A and B are shown apart, each in its own frame.
Chain A
């Protein structure tokens, strides 16, 4: 049914879309275009450049083409930096998956008092990264921190965590798992709750114990959620920033915690290499984009929903 006085068409829609469209033009499309242009110049960031007046003249005069990108890949640094992100990921993802799945199983069980646990597990998610990172910096203090105190209690001499080349990245992983596992746990909980209880009842009747039920029912039926969480944390691993900035000033001893976003920030605002930094940020985007595409393809192919 269509009523005569029911307004449709672009004229009716524009007033409603306008604020959001202006926002998109100014804070999304314009920055994307500007950033692509800047990534092809040798702009230092020190000279003033206006995006609205003579921007394209400026770009033409300082045009480098893809030289920034070529330069990035000619240097060893990008591989080292990506290696750091990958190292973070390799330590972070398994630990986070196991822990957050465990939290979901605990909170999703029908035991009494799980409400209290739910609240406790979720508190780190609510904390800002700056507060969380400051707390962890102090918790991991080699002399005055509780972690090394507890380790000393069982006879282990704890390392100088953030001051150590070996332990700086694992420290950041530890803090990140602490901060994120409640978040991913809640996503897992959603997945758990969508599994029909009938499966468990049938399995119980067949005499399956709780480990068998978890292994044969929960894990396979949870696979769409697990995949989603893995992809989210994969993207997240390439975006880590505040924890690195706050916990390891100057990216740790010997730069062992230099990561993508930290590099982009420093190139742009500390080292006066805006063009180079912009190119770097598009490489980061390419990685995130590839992960997203992969996720969409796999979700269609591999994960089956009920």
Chain B
């Protein structure tokens, strides 16, 4: 390697590392703070590394009313809405990709058009619809909107379109019903998209703020983000406790990411869905 190349490589790592460190400062600060005692929290000069680290904040966190419940709530909502969306959207995608019927294109365009209206515009009437069905302040109100997810239908349809129709014909020839063809042939071929969608949807639901903020009222129903934001009002300036909470809330997604990086990447390239 000549000298110029060596310099460039050095500069590359310098820049890459500088950005990485800058991005890690807030996360480092979260971890460090979560291990601090009340005294260390407001000590000056600030302690980058706590002099007397303690796990007391985590103990307090888990004994805070509603915290453990909120973990459960978040899990239930995320898992159930993923399942609901995958089932309902794959069925619809199957109809759009493999069954010819009149008005198919028009209906699909309606699906695409619906993607232009974000939750930020519709949360008021969504609240009314839920309250009409006596579903406000229930976890169900966060799960059932998953019935209709145009982008999931869109992604699954894309994949199903690539499956040759010969599979459909062969199945029909063997006397398989449409339902069996869907369950035994088409759905298994979409495994990769299912995994990708499941991860995107799980993360979206786990991290969601607006919808649970609008729907939920009682502490025992709160999902983690809502409980954390309420706690931050209650425990003003107890940042050691809050940082412990923030860290705990991140762990499931980090584990998911570590285990399924491949699908995260695929999800980004396909959908561009943001957390």
Cα of A239 to Cα of B25 in the assembled complex, Å: 27
- B45 — which chain A residues lie within 8 A by C-beta? 149
Q: Kindly identify which residue among A3, A5, A28 contacts B148, using a CB–CB cutoff of 8 Å.
A: A28
- A282 — which chain B residues lie within 8 A by C-beta? 121
A190 at the interface (CB under 8 A from B): yes
User: In the complex, how many residues of chain A place their beta carbon closer than 8 angstroms to a beta carbon of chain B?
Assistant: 99
B27 to chain A, nearest CB (A): 7
Name, among A35, A49, A134, the residue most crowded by chain B CB atoms within 10 Å (CB to CB). Answer: A134
Q: Kindly identify which residue among B26, B103, B121, B209 contacts A128, using a CB–CB cutoff of 8 Å.
A: B209
Q: Are A241 and B121 in contact (CB under 8 A)?
A: no
Q: Are A13 and B19 in contact (CB under 8 A)?
A: no
B259 at the interface (CB under 8 A from A): no
B139 at the interface (CB under 8 A from A): no
User: Mostly helix, strand, loop or mixed at chain A's interface?
Assistant: helix
Q: Kindly identify which residue among B127, B214, B225, B264 contacts A130, using a CB–CB cutoff of 8 Å.
A: B225
Name, among A22, A138, A180, the residue most crowded by chain B CB atoms within 10 Å (CB to CB). Answer: A138
Closest to A289 in B: B116
Q: Which of B195-243 contact A (CB under 8 A)?
A: 203, 206-207, 209-210, 213-214, 224-226, 228-229, 232-233, 239, 242-243
Cα of A15 to Cα of B147 in the assembled complex, Å: 14
B144 at the interface (CB under 8 A from A): yes
B223 to chain A, nearest CB (A): 10
- A122 — which chain B residues lie within 8 A by C-beta? 257, 264
A294 at the interface (CB under 8 A from B): no
Closest to A125 in B: B275
Cα of A239 to Cα of B274 in the assembled complex, Å: 12
| 21 A-B pairs with C-beta separation under 8 A | A3-B172, A3-B173, A5-B175, A7-B178, A13-B99, A19-B147, A22-B147, A24-B150, A26-B148, A28-B117, A49-B128, A130-B228, A134-B229, A135-B27, A149-B46, A149-B48, A178-B23, A183-B274, A187-B272, A241-B209, A269-B214
